[in-house]
Structure formats: structure tokens, C-alpha cells
Amino acid sequence: MSVTRQRLRIALSAILILGASVGLSAETINAAGATFPAVIYQKWFQEFHKLHPDVQINYQSLGSGAGIQQLTQGTVDFGASDMPMTNEQLSKITKVKVLHFPTVLGGLVPTYNIPGVTAILNFTPESLAGIYLGKITKWNDAALKKDNPGVNFPDAEIQVVHRSDGSGTTFVWTDYLSKISPEWKSKVGAGTSVAWPTGLGGKGNEGVAGTVKQTANSIGYVELIYAAQNKMAYGAIRNSAGTFVRADFDSVSEAAAGAAKSMPDDFRVSITNAPGKKAYPVSSFTWLLIPNKFDNATKKNAIQQFLKWMLADGQKFAAGLDYAALPQPVVAKEEKQIGLIQ
């Protein structure tokens, strides 16, 4: 073998060894949960990977219930949920303490598909509860006509659509209905999964949006980004101040304003039916569920790095994706909590 060829083989071997060591040093982090924030989470994980090529965060958009379940079983490094974990759920995780990190805010919108109706519809709390209780069954019901003068509603059965999976989005929607309707609270209540009085099920925000889009005379609840991405009509809801408000960056931020001042130390809070003339009533924080201890120091450091980036540069992506950024007082409290991860 010539000296030149021998040197070439040595060089190639060195490159392969270097490549293998780089591959081994790359840290893969697995997470699963809420579909509500999935759009911005995928964007964040892509952008963070560009800055830190040695960190790959894989996220499965399965629903909040699945995220909490996988976190409890220890099959993911962290979970994501649109509802805070309950004390009962937290008690099932004994080896670590789960920290709640609010990430962004969003609004759930009533989206509908009514052939021939292109207007932005107004919904009162009473009419939404009536529709989901199965008591308002036709689009030309007097209550809907009263709140939408000039709209030519068809004499058609309302096709109600809801989530079929365990869902934080469902928790937010039913939490709101429980606050504004005593009948809903007593008969159905709030939860990630409930015994729906009526309707068709769709899996994930994507499934509900798809079902509404394909079903004439239907109505469903989805995160704003899914209605926007699918170019679907969505209505305004009368808030606690008596104003009909549509979900957007400002109205969701307004709903969070009061909560930011009195945010509990564990960040578990509901802001549905919030006060404020411009507040959108079906707004919510969404959370990452992070264990406070990691056996893998590299993984722990990567997650801490991501959280710091998410609370700073990551928030700049919110408005462009139809989410609302976190209020600064909440960001300041979360930055301190990052230090609790060991």
C-alpha cells in the first residue's frame, strides 16, 4: 500500500470516528401532549435545533390526556397540557415533582360550517351551552336569530362536533361552559373527557377542524390557529362584560392580564370567562410539564436552555401564529422556576 493511500485511509477513519462521536453527543428529547399549542411548539423546536444542532426535541401532538399519561408512565422526558394537572394526577408521579411552565396563551373559537352563511356569528354563553346540551337543535332557533339580526339561517339541524380523545382543549371548553351554565356544570361538568349530551367526535384539534369543514351545518370548538389555517369561519362570544368579542392577540392577552398579577406559585390557573370589556372569554394558558429531576445531566441542561430561550426569543413567534405571548410578570416568575430543575 502506498504512503498516500495509507494516509487517506487514516484520514477517512478519523472522519468516521469524529462523525460517530458527534452523533453520540447529540441529545434526543422526547415529549408528547397537547394539540392546542402544537403549531408553535413545532416552530420552536425547529428554531431551537438550528441554534443547537446537538439537541433534537421530538414532539407528538396526541392530546393533553395522552401527554399526562405518557409523563406518568415515564415514556417521555416531558409532557404538555392545556389544563393544569390535578392533585390526584400529580400524586401518581412519586419519583419526581412535576413543574408547570406556561408557554403561550390561546383562544378556543366556535367554528361553523353553514352553507349560505358567511357572516361572523355572535354567540351568547346561553346559546353555546344550549347547543352543546342538545337543547338548541336548529340553526334558525329564535335565540340565534336574536343575536344575529339579518342573518338568513337555514331550517337545518345543528351538527355538534367535539373532541373524541382526552383533551386539555375539551377541559378549557367545558370549564368555560361550567362557569356560565349551572345546568352544564351539574349535568356534564368540566374535564378532559366528559359524557357529551350530543354530537360527533373528532380526534385532536385537527380532527375537529376537519370534521366541521366536511360536515354541513356543523359547529365545533378549536384553537384559533386551526380555524385560521383551514380558512374556517369562527364567531364572537359575549364575554362577562356583555361585549361580543372574537379571539385575537389583543383579546386573549386582555383575558390574561388579571391572572398575571395573581398567578399562583405553581402556575395552575384558569382564565376562562375572565373580566374585562375586551377580554375573550374562552382563553387559556397552555403548559409544559417538566420533571424537576433528570438522571441525564446533558438532557437536563438542554431542557433548561430551551426553557430560557422559549421565555425570551421564543415568545416573538407567538403573534404570527395566532397565539398571545406570556405577560412579563409570568415570564419573570418562570425564569426563577427553571432553577428548580436538577
Query: Does residue 158 belong to any structural domain of this protein?
Result: yes
Domain limits at 99?
3-106+285-340
Average pLDDT over all residues of the chain:
91
Look up the pTM and report it. Answer: 0.85
**Cβ contact 334:102 at 8 Å:** yes
Comparing C-alpha atoms, which of 248, 307, 302 is closest to residue 278?
248
Same domain, 54 and 136: no
If asked whether residues 256 and 116 sit together in one domain, one would say yes
pLDDT bin (cut points 50, 70, 90) of residue 26 is confident
Question: How far is the C-alpha of 194 from the C-alpha of 188, rounded, in Å?
Answer: 7
**Residue 331 is part of a domain; what is its CATH number?**
3.40.190.10
Question: Is 333 a residue whose pLDDT tops 90?
Answer: yes
- Grid coordinates representing 287 are 403548559
- 94 burial type by CB count under 10 A (0-12 exposed, 13-18 middle, 19+ buried): exposed
Span 2-8, mean pLDDT?
40
Residues 146, 190, single domain; the answer is yes
> For residue 12, what pLDDT band results from cuts at 50, 70 and 90?
very low
| 279 belongs to a structural domain | no
pLDDT tens, 200-210? Answer: 999 988 999 99
Q: What mean pLDDT comes out for the span 280-300?
A: 97
Q: CB–CB of 160/198 below 8 Å?
A: yes
- Contacts of residue 17, defined as CB under 8 A and 6 or more positions apart, other chains included, come to none
Range 26-42 average pLDDT: 94
Please tell me the total count of domains within the chain: 2
pLDDT for the residue 260: 77
pLDDT of residue 261: 77
Residues 156 and 187 in one domain: yes
Round to the nearest angstrom and report the end-to-end CA distance of the chain.
54
Task: Report whether pLDDT(4) > 50.
Answer: no
Indicate whether 16 pLDDT > 90: no
The C-alpha angle with vertex 224 and arms to 148 and 139, in degrees rounded to 5, equals: 30
Query: In the prediction, which pLDDT does 271 show?
Result: 95
Q: Provide the pLDDT for residue 259.
A: 79
Is pLDDT of 18 > 60? no
For residue 289, CA distances in Å to 167, 170, 198, 233, 247 come to 15, 18, 32, 32, 26
Nearest alpha-carbon partner for 251 in 268, 265, 231, 234: 234
Question: By the 8 A CB rule, do 286 and 280 touch?
Answer: no
Same domain, 49 and 98: yes
- Position 275 pLDDT exceeds 90: yes
**What is residue 25's predicted lDDT score, i.e. its pLDDT?**
52
Residues ≥6 apart with Cβ < 8 Å to 273: 125, 176, 179, 180, 239, 240, 281
pLDDT band at 166 (very low <50, low <70, confident <90, very high): confident
The predicted model gives 139-149 an average pLDDT of 98
Mean pLDDT for 154-158 is: 98
Q: Are residues 141 and 223 in the same domain?
A: yes
Give the residue among 52, 60, 8 at the shortest CA–CA distance from 33: 60
Amino acid 40 reads: I
* DSSP character at residue 324: B
pLDDT of residue 24 exceeding 60: no
pLDDT digits (tens, 9 = 90+) for 44-53: 999 999 999 9
* pLDDT score recorded for residue 2: 43
pLDDT reading at 169 higher than 60: yes
How sure is the predictor about 236, in pLDDT bands with cuts at 50, 70 and 90?
very high
For 316-321, which contacts have Cβ atoms below 8 Å and span 24 or more sequence positions? Answer: 317/40, 317/43, 317/44, 317/47, 318/40, 318/104, 318/249, 319/249, 321/39, 321/40, 321/43, 321/225
Q: What is the mean pLDDT of residues 291-319?
A: 97
Q: How confident is the model at residue 198 (pLDDT cuts 50, 70, 90)?
A: very high
247 has pLDDT over 80: yes
In a domain, 268, yes or no: no
In a domain? residue 274: no
